[in-house]
Structures are given as structure tokens and as C-alpha cells.
């Protein structure tokens, strides 16, 4: 991207500020921002935000599962629900709220928003899966292993909006999303 993804401009702020704001507005009590390579840039932003804190992952270069473990290990043991969302997957607060509310009402071990038969984000896991999430590894496919283990009891929430699959993996995807996001982020 030419710069750290969390620092990308998004809706008048940095992407990390947008994500934390959406998560909190959508119903999260607290947001744990896992940092790695861009810790020096992101840490001061997180320190200024209420109900957000950072968990530094010194092993970030070893894969996403190390960041999942760092975030989960920063949670209290008695956590009720765990929502996972990467910084490059911007979601409006209404999506966060809808997924979280559906998860809490379902009693399912995990919840996944779905768009046209495909999974999206954010994913929500029951706090009972905390220990499983804290043990994910790249060799065992990261959170996919936990997801597959509990998939038969998954709460699938259909959201007829492509925003649940938006992922900013390339400069082209980012530039395109800057143009389309204001339209697709509108609650339906």
C-alpha cells in the first residue's frame, strides 16, 4: 500500500480510527487493537481513544494467527463474545451491531455474516472459544480451524450488502473502495 494500512485515510480519519469507532458504536465494550510492524504509528492514536487499547504482537511477521493470539491473550478470562475484524476490512457500525446482536441472540458458538453464499466479516466467537482461539497457529490454518470445528452450529447471518466482504488488499482495491464505500456502507 505504500504506507501502513491502519494509517490509510478513510472517511475523514485513519482506517484504524474508523474501525475502532465503528466497533464501539456497533456495540463492542472495548476494542483491542493488535499492532505489529506499524506499532510506532498506531500506538499514539490508540492511546488517545476511549475504550480502546493496544496489544503489541512482536511475532507479527510469523502470520495472522500470532496477531489473533496476541489479541485474545489481552482479553479477560470471562469474556462473553469475541469479535474479530482486520483493519483492512472496514465495516460501518450498523453491520457490527447487526452481527453482534444476532450472535448474542443465537447462543451459537460463532456467527458469520454471509453475502450471496460467501462468508464475510466481522466474525463473532463465543467467549467459550477463547482458549481455542488463543491456540491457533498458521500450520493449522489459524481461525479457520476453530471455525470449521464449530461450523455445524454456526449462526449464519445473511446481509444483502457487499460491504461484509470488502477487503483492502491492494492499492487498486483501496482506491476503488474509496469511491464505492459511501454507497455500500448505507444501512439496508
CA torsion sign for 154, 119, 116, 188 is positive
Q: Which three cell numbers stand for residue 132?
A: 481455542
Q: Which CATH number fits domain 5-182: 3.40.50.970, 3.40.50.620, 3.40.50.1100, 3.90.550.10?
A: 3.90.550.10
d(CA 116, CA 20): 27
Per-residue pLDDT of 55-80, as tens digits, reads 999 999 999 999 999 999 999 989 99
Q: What's the rounded Cα separation, in Å, for the pair 8 and 13?
A: 8
Predicted pLDDT of residue 99? 98
Q: What is the pTM of this model?
A: 0.94
Q: Which of 132, 166, 170 is nearest to 22 (CA)?
A: 166
The predicted model gives 110-134 an average pLDDT of 96
- pLDDT score of 188 more than 90: no
Determine the pLDDT at residue 69: 96
Considering only CA atoms, give the Rg of the chain: 16
The rounded percent of the chain whose pLDDT value lies above 90 is: 93
How many residues does the structure list for the chain?
A: 188
For the chain, domain boundaries: 5-182
Amino acid at each position: 500500500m505504500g504506507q501502513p494500512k491502519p494509517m490509510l485515510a478513510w472517511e475523514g480519519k485513519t482506517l484504524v480510527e474508523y474501525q475502532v469507532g465503528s466497533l464501539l458504536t456497533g456495540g463492542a465494550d472495548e476494542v483491542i487493537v493488535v499492532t505489529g510492524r506499524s506499532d510506532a504509528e498506531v500506538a499514539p492514536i490508540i492511546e488517545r481513544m476511549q475504550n480502546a487499547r493496544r496489544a503489541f504482537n512482536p511475532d507479527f511477521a510469523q502470520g495472522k494467527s500470532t496477531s489473533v493470539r496476541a489479541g485474545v491473550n489481552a482479553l479477560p478470562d470471562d469474556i462473553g463474545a469475541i469479535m474479530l475484524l482486520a483493519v483492512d476490512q472496514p465495516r460501518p457500525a450498523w453491520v457490527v451491531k447487526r452481527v453482534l446482536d444476532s450472535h448474542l441472540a443465537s447462543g451459537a458458538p460463532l456467527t458469520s455474516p454471509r453475502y450471496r453464499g460467501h462468508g464475510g466479516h466481522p466474525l463473532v466467537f463465543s467467549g467459550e472459544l477463547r482458549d481455542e482461539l488463543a491456540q491457533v497457529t498458521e500450520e493449522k490454518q489459524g481461525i479457520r480451524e476453530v471455525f470449521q470445528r464449530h461450523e455445524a452450529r454456526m449462526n449464519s447471518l445473511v446481509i444483502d450488502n457487499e460491504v461484509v466482504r470488502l477487503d483492502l488488499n491492494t492499492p487498486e482495491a483501496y482506491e476503488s473502495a474509496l469511491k464505492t464505500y459511501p454507497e455500500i456502507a448505507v444501512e439496508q
